[in-house]
Amino acid sequence: MQENKANRLIEAAIKDFHNSISHDNLLHVLKALLYGVKTGAEIIVPVDIAEDMLNLVGLSPDTVQEGDVIRLGEDLHVKYMEITDTDEEKTYIMGFTSDEERDKIGICDCLIISLAQILDMLNSDECTFDGMVINVCGERFILASDLVQIIMAEMSHDMG
């Protein structure tokens, strides 16, 4: 994934939040995420790519290599890898701000999706996830659905 200033700002804001959990640092993370949405930041999202899906788009699992870019001419539903918080009975998708962060968990089947698209999906009525865990290994941040709504409201306010 290409380096992005917004992704580095998100990582730095999450680090600050871990160093000192406070309202101000939470606001700093939300502002970094909002900046990421506005500047086209992308997030790496692990998915479960079934062999059937590759066959559907005319590809063979034997010919697809790591790093291949596949552009689809139509919508295709994928299964996002998820994390479940059994104590709170909540389910989250995983998202990574960089290849470095993704490599900490060793997942290779991923999609690179704009942060704006992920937030739109998480904010939709059809979404069954309770949010997204950003950088699940190390200094992670749980972007719960209520925080997604705050960011989306701010986006609407800026556009209106």
Residues near 135 by beta carbon (within 8 Å), at least 6 away in sequence: 11, 14, 95, 96, 97, 101, 141
134 confidence band (pLDDT: 50, 70, 90): very high
Virtual torsion, Cα 10, 47, 149, 143, nearest 10 deg? -50
Q: What is the pTM of this model?
A: 0.81
> Which residues is 95 bridged to in the sheet?
134
Mean pLDDT computed over 110-129: 93
Contacts of residues 122-125 at CB distance under 8 Å and 24 or more positions apart, as own/partner, are: 122/93, 122/148, 123/148, 123/149, 123/152
1-10, 75-84, 86-95: the lowest-pLDDT one: 75-84
pLDDT tens-digit profile of 55-85?
656 666 677 776 666 665 555 567 888 899 8
Mean pLDDT within 30-42: 94
